[in-house]
Amino acid sequence: MAACLWVVLVVSAGLFALKIAYVAGTALALPATQGALYVSTTRVRVRAFLDAVAMAPGQLLVDLGCGDGRVLREARRRYGVRAVGYELNLLALAKAKLLCLGVAGVAVRPGNFWRADLSGADVVFCYLFPDVMGRLAEKAAREMRPGALLVSCNFPLPGWAPERVLRPAGGRHHDPIFIYRIPGGGDG
């Protein structure tokens, strides 16, 4: 009986420590994330995105706020792309680094993606807060090359017309995934 009690206490303490780490990671990232929390993109949404946006081996996928890195890993597995993610939340960053450990062609970088150069990206994926989408639209227009794709879960880029809008079946609310092509160079 005493051993069972110890197991319950150790498991409870571990869960409490994880919750504290989540709160601390969120609090430390708050100034940059403007309140956006780390929430994993569902597998249904990841599959829908990757089904709709075929990539060639060696292309560069950048995930802004990559969370646990699931988009990076799945895109690498499916298409052989080079995949780079940026994450500020320390708990999400640690989880992504651990889950991507040993996955060739995948890099998870700590830090603020606003400082990242998107000029080499073939596809940029994001699931961000609506408050930052205007600023992201400006960054994409300034840095991304014509023909590259920007994919946004749930929230549109203000003033931009999506090339396609997905509504994955099986999603809780059939929330949209917006696919934008950077204009210019004859690519729409």
Q: How far apart are CA 17 and CA 148, in angstroms?
A: 41
pLDDT tens digits, 118-149: 999 999 999 998 999 999 999 999 999 999 99
Q: What residue type is assigned to position 7 of the chain? A: V
| SS3 assignment, position 103 | coil
Give the Å distances, CA to CA, from 26 to 89, 133, 161.
Answer: 6, 20, 32
Enumerate domains of the chain plus CATH numbers.
Answer: 43-181 (3.40.50.150)
Residue pointed to by tokens 């080499």: 120
Q: What percentage of the chain carries pLDDT values higher than 90?
A: 68
- What average pLDDT does the structure give for the chain? 87
Pairing of strands 60-64, 123-126: parallel
pLDDT, tens only, 42-88 = 899 999 999 999 999 999 999 999 999 999 999 999 999 999 999 99
**Within a 10 A sphere around the Cβ of 65, how many other Cβ atoms?**
25
